[in-house]
Amino acid sequence: MGVTVPHRLIEPYPRFSLYNSPYPAHDDASGIDLYPDSNVAISPVEGVVRGSRTVGCPDREYAVDHDHVIAIDVDDDWATETGLVGGGPLTARVLHVDPSVERGDRVTIGDALGEMVRSGFFGPWVDNHVHLEFRDRDVDPYRASGSHRLTVGGAIEPVPWDGTGNVVETGSTYVRLDSPRLAGPHRSGANGTYAGLASDDGIPLDGGLTHYGGGGAFLTGTEVLGTRDTESSGSTTRTGPERAGTIDRPAGETLSLLGEPIGAAEKRSDNACLEEGTGWTTVTWRDVAVYANGDPVTGLSLFLTRRSDPGIKIVWRDHGLSVGDEVTVSIRPTDDPIRLGPGR
C-alpha cells in the first residue's frame, strides 16, 4: 500500500526529492526529502509527538557523527481533511532534525521541530533537509524499514535544458548553474507549481544522475516546454524554450537526456506509484557518464522546485570554477559508471 502526500503538506518547502539519495528509503520512494528556506526544521504534519531518538551515523569531517529520529502520530481528522491518504492511522518519521519538541507536544504544519543537523549520512554537496516517511501506527517508528511507498499529489512541470549555463554558486564538491530556467508563465512562491529537469521528451526527472544508480520519473500527460529538434541515434527529440503541447508516456520506456539514453522507467507495479499511468516511477540509470566542459564529473543532482530559476547542481569535486564561468554538459556511454554508496 502507498501513501499519497498532498500538495498542501509540502507547500512550506521550496524543494523536494523522492529519489536523490543512495539510501533504501529513496530506492522505492518510501521517503521524501524536504528543503526549507532556513535551517529551522518545520513540521510537515499535524499531530502529537510520540518521542525521539538519537542515532549514530558515519563520522565525516564536514558533518556531525549523530542524527535524530522524531516520531509524530498524525492526527486522523487532519489527515483526512488534507488528503493524506493511507490505509489507516499513520506515524510520521522525521530525520535530520535536532528536536526542540518533546513527547506529548502537539504540532501543526509550520511549527518548529528544531534545528536541522548536517548529518554524516549526507554527501558533502547535499543541502540540509528534513527527511519524512510514513508508516502504520503499530509499526516501530525507530526501525529503519517499514515505511509506505509515497507519491506526491499534483502535477510536476517539465523544464527542458540544452546542457549549457553559467555558474551562480560554488562549493568544494559542486557548482550550481543559472539554467535551466522556466519559460513562459509560471507561478512561483508559496503556492507555485513544482518543476523538474525534463528528459528529451518532456518527462520530469529526480535523483542523482547517475551516481546513485537509480532515480525517478513523473509520468503523466505532461506539458512539454520545447520544440527544438535534435538528432540522436536516428531519433528526434524535442527540447527548447517554447511550449509544445501535451504528451502521454507509459512506464517502461527508455528515457534520454541531451541526446543520450540514460535509463528506463519501471513498469512493474511494485516499483511504481502509478494511478492510471500517472505518478512517480523508478528509473534505473544506464551505464553513462556525465561530462562538464569535457571533464568527467560525479553527476547531476536533480530535485523538484517551485523556484523560477531551478538551475542544475553538478556534483564536481575540485572543479576550479568561479561564479560567472560558462559550463557545457554532455552525457556519454561508459563501461565504468560512477556509483556512490551512502555518504560518499
Per-residue pLDDT tens digits for 296-308 = 999 999 999 988 7
3-class DSSP state of 41: strand
Please indicate, yes or no, whether residues 107 and 229 belong to a single structural domain of this protein.
Answer: no
The better pLDDT of the pair 30, 323 is held by 323
Please indicate, yes or no, whether residues 142 and 50 belong to a single structural domain of this protein.
Answer: yes
What is the domain count for the chain?
Answer: 2
Residues paired with residue 223 on neighbouring β-strands, in sequence order: 246
Domain assignment of residue 339, yes or no: no
pLDDT single digits (tens) 130-144: 999 999 999 999 998
Average pLDDT (226-255) is 41
pLDDT of 188 above 50: no
The better pLDDT of the pair 218, 74 is held by 74
For position 139, which CATH number holds?
2.70.70.10
Domain assignment of residue 102, yes or no: yes
The pTM (predicted TM-score) of the whole model is: 0.86
Residue 244 pLDDT class (50, 70, 90 cuts): very low
Please indicate, yes or no, whether residues 230 and 273 belong to a single structural domain of this protein.
Answer: yes
Average pLDDT (174-187) is 78
Please indicate, yes or no, whether residues 270 and 171 belong to a single structural domain of this protein.
Answer: yes
Domain assignment of residue 16, yes or no: yes
Please indicate, yes or no, whether residues 10 and 146 belong to a single structural domain of this protein.
Answer: yes
Please indicate, yes or no, whether residues 172 and 78 belong to a single structural domain of this protein.
Answer: no
Closest alpha carbon to 201 in 153, 261, 155, 252: 261
Residue 155 pLDDT class (50, 70, 90 cuts): confident
Domain assignment of residue 72, yes or no: yes
What pLDDT is recorded for position 241? Answer: 30
Burial of 180 (0-12, 13-18, 19+ CB in 10 A): buried
pLDDT single digits (tens) 46-74: 999 999 999 998 888 888 888 999 999 99
Q: What percent of the chain has pLDDT over 90?
A: 56
Residue 341 pLDDT class (50, 70, 90 cuts): low
Please indicate, yes or no, whether residues 247 and 191 belong to a single structural domain of this protein.
Answer: yes
Domain assignment of residue 46, yes or no: yes
Average pLDDT (279-285) is 87
Domain assignment of residue 341, yes or no: no
Please indicate, yes or no, whether residues 224 and 289 belong to a single structural domain of this protein.
Answer: yes
The better pLDDT of the pair 145, 268 is held by 145
What pLDDT is recorded for position 184? Answer: 55
Residue 181 pLDDT class (50, 70, 90 cuts): confident
Q: Which three cell numbers stand for residue 274?
A: 502509478
Among 152, 174, 190, identify where a domain stops.
152
Mean pLDDT of the chain: 84
Please indicate, yes or no, whether residues 120 and 208 belong to a single structural domain of this protein.
Answer: no
What pLDDT is recorded for position 158? Answer: 92
Domain assignment of residue 250, yes or no: yes
The better pLDDT of the pair 308, 118 is held by 118
Please indicate, yes or no, whether residues 71 and 35 belong to a single structural domain of this protein.
Answer: yes
Among 152, 186, 208, identify where a domain stops.
152
Q: Rounded to 5 degrees, what are φ and ψ at 80?
A: -65, -45
User: 319 CB contacts (<8 Å, ≥6 apart)?
Assistant: 170, 174, 175, 292, 297
Domain assignment of residue 146, yes or no: yes
CB atoms within 10 A of CB 245: 10
Q: Which three cell numbers stand for residue 41?
A: 526544521
Residue indicated by cell numbers 511507498: 149
Among 119, 134, 152, identify where a domain stops.
152
Residue 183 pLDDT class (50, 70, 90 cuts): low
Please indicate, yes or no, whether residues 301 and 238 belong to a single structural domain of this protein.
Answer: yes
pLDDT of 344 above 90: no
CB atoms within 10 A of CB 336: 8
What is the span of the domain harbouring residue 215?
Answer: 156-333
Please indicate, yes or no, whether residues 175 and 302 belong to a single structural domain of this protein.
Answer: yes
The identity of residue 191, as a single letter, is N
